[in-house]
Chain A
Amino acid sequence: EADIYQTPRYLVIGTGKKITLECSQTMGHDKMYWYQQDPGMELHLIHYSYGVNSTEKGDLSSESTVSRIRTEHFPLTLESARPSHTSQYLCASSEYGGYTFGSGTRLTVV
């Protein structure tokens, strides 16, 4: 049973559109993360949050933005999607070192 939920699972969208990827967790974890993963490649951290009103950029430069208004919710927004944004986006939360991942959103920008 998943404790961290990502929607949508799959998204195909045209260039220039604004999109928001949703991530919610029911475990009460303070720390949440967004990773980006291309096929056959390692996960790269693009954003993280240590709690409400806390957001930081990760190691991989990303044109996306995030917000953390509620503990359980950590949405990621792309203001203007481009084909280079095509990838899998994985959300995770953690407490005391244990990371739980969502099922991911596979984004295709055409």
Chain B
Amino acid sequence: EDQVTQSPEALRLQEGESSSLNCSYTVSGLRGLFWYRQDPGKGPEFLFTLYSAGEEKEKERLKATLTKKESFLHITAPKPEDSATYLCAVSNDYKLSFGAGTTVTVRA
């Protein structure tokens, strides 16, 4: 059975304080690893898809990396508007399996 574990559960950062979120996964036949951002009361918003170990993708202050067993989401010099829950998911043949997420709070 596919498993996705995210750590830490919660992260409190000062504005400008860079950090990383971890996503460990086990899946049979990885079709892709996804990162989403979810704001309270809203649906997940797509950030990145990674397909193979060594792949990296960037968007503004966010950078996602992938190894054979885990993915990292690096947040560089975060701002208060980066506060959200970040979800990791792995795709197999027919569905996305999600982790519980890391809730990031960035204080000004």
- Identify the A interface with B (CB < 8 A): 6, 33, 35, 40-45, 48, 56, 58-59, 90, 92, 97-104, 106
Contact = CB atoms under 8 A, between A and B. Distances in A.
B100 A41 contact: yes
Main SS of the interface on chain B? strand
B95 interface: yes
B99 A104 contact: no
Interface of B: 4, 31-32, 34, 36, 41-46, 49, 87, 89, 91, 94-101
Contacts of B49: 97-98
A80 B44 CA distance: 28
Contact of A97 (B4, B31, B43, B99): B31
A90 B95 contact: no
A97 B30 CA distance: 11
Q: Which of A40, A56, A102 has the most CB of B within 10 A?
A: A40
Given A41-B100, A42-B101, A33 B41 contact: no
B95 A103 contact: no
